[in-house]
Amino acid sequence: MSYSVKEAFYSLQGEGARTGRAAVFCRFAGCNLWSGREQDRGTAVCDFCDTDFRGTDGDGGGRFDTAQGLAAHLLHLWRGQPDERASPYVIFTGGEPLLQLDAALLAVLHDHDVEIAVETNGTLPVPDGVDWICVSPKADAGLVQTRGDELKLVYPQPLAPPERFAGLAFRHFFLQPRDDTQRAAHTAAAVAYCKAHPRWRLSLQTHKLIGIP
């Protein structure tokens, strides 16, 4: 199996329960809910995406023929000093990472003592061996992955109210304001919802607020 990676970079997790934690991000190319072309956005299942995931031309991107090759590339990007209380941390995102993340890649990373997280839309099952599962459901897409560590719902999605997901088997429940021209209004609405429904916490995209990748 070969892998198509849009970009890969070292930054801090900007969102959710692990906000602020150093990580190598591996952004796989391609998604099952949008082609990534602007002219298709209006008819896409997921129409609010904030990410360019087409092609392999980004910083640290490329085509990798083997799991070993991609794992070596990701480990090379890690800048953390050795620390017995903090393993190297790799977050697979995209696009939709579960179109490409496989057992071979998970195994070789675990062989190097890497902790592995995934950011997924929940339409595909997460393979065994992922250490941290973040699911972000999309209103018009079937949800297959109904358990995990955090559920991070982009808010608002009129056809996907938080109540639809509150009973699922996640440890953390977040609302993340939809980033578009109305972001301030969406943020205010998310704050109001969290205040009324304390199960839910606010996830800000802090990397955007401070201008890091």
Ligand X SMILES: Nc1nc2[nH]cc(C(=O)O)c2c(=O)[nH]1
Ligand Y SMILES: C[S@@+](CC[C@H](N)C(=O)[O-])C[C@H]1O[C@@H](n2cnc3c(N)ncnc32)[C@H](O)[C@@H]1O
Residues 100-129 that bind ligand SF4 (CB under 6 A): 121
Q: Which does 34 bind (CB under 5 to 8 A by kind): ligand SF4, ligand Y, ligand X, none?
A: ligand SF4
Q: Is 164 helix (H, G, I), strand (E, B) or coil?
A: helix
Q: Using CA atoms, how far apart are residues 78 and 64, in angstroms rounded to an integer?
A: 18
Backbone angles phi, psi at 89, to 5 degrees: -125, 125
Catalytic status, residue 115 = no
Stretch that binds ligand SF4, among 11-19, 47-55, 171-179, 203-211 (CB under 6 A): 47-55
Which among 201, 182, 179 is positioned nearest to 191, based on CA atoms?
A: 201
Catalytic status, residue 119 = yes
Which among 64, 60, 67, 48 is positioned nearest to 24, based on CA atoms?
A: 60
- Out of 5, 6, 15, 190, the residue judged to bind ligand X by CB under 6 A: 15
Q: Which does 179 bind (CB under 5 to 8 A by kind): ligand SF4, ligand Y, ligand X, none?
A: ligand Y
To the question of whether residue 97 is assigned a binding role by annotation, the answer is: no
Residue 187 CB, nearest distance to ligand X (Å)?
Answer: 17
The side-by-side arrangement of strands in the sheet containing 22-28 is 62-64, 3-12, 22-28, 89-93, 115-120, 132-135, 147-155, 169-177, 200-202
- Out of 13, 157, 176, 187, the residue judged to bind ligand Y by CB under 6 A: 176
State the residues that interact with ligand X by CB under 6 A. 11-15, 25, 51, 93, 119, 207, 213
